[in-house]
Amino acid sequence: MSSDPEEKIIAGMTRGTLQYFEEKISSLITRFKNKDITFVEEIETANLAKEQRKKPEWELFKQYVYDYDLRILFQLGLTFRSLENQGKPIDVLKKNVKDKYGSTGLHIAYFVQNGFFQRLLASIVERERTPEALRKEISDVLRNIENVVTFITGMDSKQELELKATRIITKINANSPKTYIISSAQEKGKSGSATKKCAQVYKMVMEGISGYSVEFNKTETREIYFLNKEE
């Protein structure tokens, strides 16, 4: 044992600190066992997930879609949007979504991130007569997202635009979807270019199909064409 008074003080403080942490740890573990607390590395991640479930869009969506995976993808689409608005990176989350749900799942999340759900709902509410038909139509659109949505970017070349238009025409003529969405992709600082190209594709598509009417939506950053099958 040390006879140095300073060492004795330090040893006493260390024992005191250890005892403090020991008591704190025991207290936390007791509270955990009593189901009072949840341990998380980052509280922010849990709060972000909780916030999405309080949003009006979620409240609306959950009335119409009961599919477990679609509901998760919807919440993750809202999470994408929140992170993007906060200027936070979303690449890791995108990878997680793609790893679990593939490209289709990622596109469903993008669909929600871009605010298409409310617009889709507004578009189909006008023609579907029953809640059951509405539910079916929403689920069908999301499950067949690859066949009913095309994004046009400012980077698309003339050749790519023609190819996209041809593909959209082929999909519409082959599947006769009730709704097809052509949207300019949101690109900060480049939205003008994408919206012009989106308009070009829309015109090319309308020349190649029949029996569809258009509903046009424009926001600050994008243009969206809802092609609705006429009854």
For other proteins, which is the closer residue by CB, 50 or 129? 50
Q: Is 25 in the site for other proteins (CB under 8 A)?
A: yes
Least distance in Å: CB of 206 to other proteins? Answer: 38
DSSP string, 137-159: HHHHHHHTHHHHEEEE-TT--HH
For other proteins, which is the closer residue by CB, 33 or 158? 33
Q: Is 29 in the site for other proteins (CB under 8 A)?
A: yes
The full length of the chain comes to 231
Rg (CA), the chain: 26
Task: From 67, 150, 75, select the one nearest 107 (Cα to Cα).
Answer: 150
Q: Is 71 in the site for other proteins (CB under 8 A)?
A: yes
Contacts of residue 54, defined as CB under 8 A and 6 or more positions apart, other chains included, come to none
Q: Is 47 in the site for other proteins (CB under 8 A)?
A: yes
DSSP string, 175-214: H--SEEEEEEPP-TTTHHHHHHHHHHHHHHHHHH--SEEE
Out of 9, 49, 163, 214, the residue judged to bind other proteins by CB under 8 A = 49
Out of 4, 5, 6, 35, the residue judged to bind other proteins by CB under 8 A = 35
Interacting residue ranges for other proteins, rule: CB under 8 A = 21, 25, 28-29, 32-43, 45-50, 52-53, 68, 71-72, 75-76, 79, 92-93, 96-97, 99-100
